[in-house]
Amino acid sequence: MKELSYWDAIASSSLQTQHDGDWVRALHEGGREYIAVVDYHKGNLSSVRRGLEDAGAFVRVVDDPVLIAGAVGVVVPGVGSFEDAMGYMRSSGQDKALLEAIGAGVPYLGICLGMQLLFEAGEESRDGKLVAGLGVLPGTVRKLESGRLKVPHMGWNQLDVEPLGEDCALLRGVGAGENFYFTHSYAVPSEPGAAHQMAVTHYASSFASVVAKDGVFGCQFHPEKSSNAGARILRNFVDVVNVRADALREADASTELPNADALIQALAAHVKPEEA
* pLDDT per position as a tens digit, 102-127: 999 999 999 999 999 999 999 999 99
* pLDDT on residue 200: 96
- The pTM of the full predicted model, rounded to 2 decimals, is 0.82
Is 184 one of the catalytic residues?
no
pLDDT grade, residue 264 (50/70/90)? low
pLDDT at 273: 44
Q: What is the pLDDT of residues 6-50, one digit of tens each?
A: 444 443 444 443 333 323 333 444 568 999 999 998 877 999 999
Q: What is the pLDDT of residue 26?
A: 39
Which of 3-7, 97-101, 235-239 is predicted with the least confidence, judged by mean pLDDT?
3-7
Single-letter amino acid code for the residue at 46: S
Task: Report the C-alpha gap between 105 and 98 in whole angstroms.
Answer: 11
Report the pLDDT averaged over residues 45-74: 96
Reference 204, options 226, 182, 222; nearest CA is: 182
How far from chain centre, in Å, is Cα 165?
A: 18
Q: What is the DSSP letter of 164?
A: G
Query: Catalytic: which of 28, 100, 112, 162?
Result: 112
Mean pLDDT over 221-238 rounds to: 97
Strands 73-76 and 108-111: parallel
Query: Domain map of the chain by residue range?
Result: 6-275
Residue 139 burial (10 A CB sphere; 0-12, 13-18, 19+): buried
CATH architecture for the domain at 6-275 = 3-Layer(aba) Sandwich (3.40)
Is the pLDDT at 145 greater than 70, yes or no? yes
DSSP reduced 3-state for 242: helix
Is 112 among the residues known to form the active site? Answer: yes
pLDDT band for 73, please (50, 70, 90 cuts): very high
What percentage of the chain reaches a pLDDT higher than 70? Answer: 80
Q: Exactly one of 33, 100, 124, 224 is catalytic; name it.
A: 224
Active site residue 123: no
Q: Which of the following is catalytic: 153, 184, 196, 222?
A: 222
Phi, psi of 196 (to 5 degrees): -95, -5
| Mean pLDDT for the stretch of residues 168-175 | 94
Distance CA 237, CA 3 (A): 24
Residue 165 has pLDDT above 60, yes or no: yes
